[in-house]
């Protein structure tokens, strides 16, 4: 925002106040404080409107746009298309001094932001590496659990077969014991009857 105001103020000081051709700007009201400045700068060719005749003054100005506008202005000064008087030079010096701290602060803030972005990018790489490592460990863990589950199922199958065999063995033993017990009781009954018959 400050950079845009500097551009407008500096360029306005260097252009004449003549208004031969009116420039219609769709998105700035004619009673806006910057309307006549913008209109004059567009008329002189320092700034351009978008295809829909809007200026879009609320958008930030990139360093590339600033450099292009300043370069065009300097070319016109060097070519003699613009004449700067002592008053203009004094005003430019005053503006330069007034905004020097803000421009310097802007550079410091940009450097700080670039460092933060770099730090964030570095952190992003570390996080991506951690995620990749965790994903591999998770996959390995899932594979190990799958293998363990398969082994447990096999062990459970073996144990089930063994329990079934033991159960069958117990049933046979129980049947054999009942049969032996029945035979024993029959034998005792026969002996008792034979003993009673012989008395």
Kindly report, residue by residue over 73-111, the tens digit of the pLDDT.
777 777 877 777 777 777 767 766 766 666 667 778 888
Helical ranges in 23-85 per DSSP H: 35-44, 63-78
* Domain ranges for the chain: 2-84
Query: Do the beta carbons of residue 11 and residue 69 sit within 8 Å?
Result: yes
Question: Which segments within 70-124 are labelled E, that is strand?
Answer: none
Q: Look up the pTM and report it.
A: 0.34
Query: Do the beta carbons of residue 34 and residue 57 sit within 8 Å?
Result: yes
Q: How far apart are CA 101 and CA 107, in angstroms?
A: 10
142-158 pLDDT per residue, tens: 999 999 999 999 999 99
- The residue behind tokens 């659990």 is 145
């Amino acid at each position: 925002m400050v950079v845009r105001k500097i551009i407008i103020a500096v360029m306005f000081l260097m252009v004449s106040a003549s208004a031969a051709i009116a420039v219609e700007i769709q998105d700035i009201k004619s009673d806006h404080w910057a309307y006549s400045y913008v209109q004059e700068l567009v008329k002189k060719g320092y700034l351009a409107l978008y295809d829909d005749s809007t200026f879009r003054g609320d958008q930030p100005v990139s360093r590339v746009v600033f450099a292009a506008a300043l370069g065009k202005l300097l070319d016109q000064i060097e070519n003699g298309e613009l004449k700067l008087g002592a008053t203009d030079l004094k005003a430019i010096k005053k503006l330069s001094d007034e905004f020097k701290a803000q421009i310097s602060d802007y550079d410091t803030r940009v450097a700080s932001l670039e460092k933060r972005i770099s730090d964030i990018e570095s952190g992003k790489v570390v996080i991506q590496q951690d995620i990749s490592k965790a994903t591999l460990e998770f996959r390995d863990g899932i594979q190990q659990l799958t293998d363990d589950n398969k082994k447990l199922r096999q062990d459970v199958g073996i144990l089930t077969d063994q329990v079934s065999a033991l159960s069958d063995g117990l049933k046979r033993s129980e049947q054999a014991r009942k049969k032996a017990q029945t035979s024993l009781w029959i034998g005792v009954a026969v002996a008792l009857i034979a003993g009673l018959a012989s008395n």
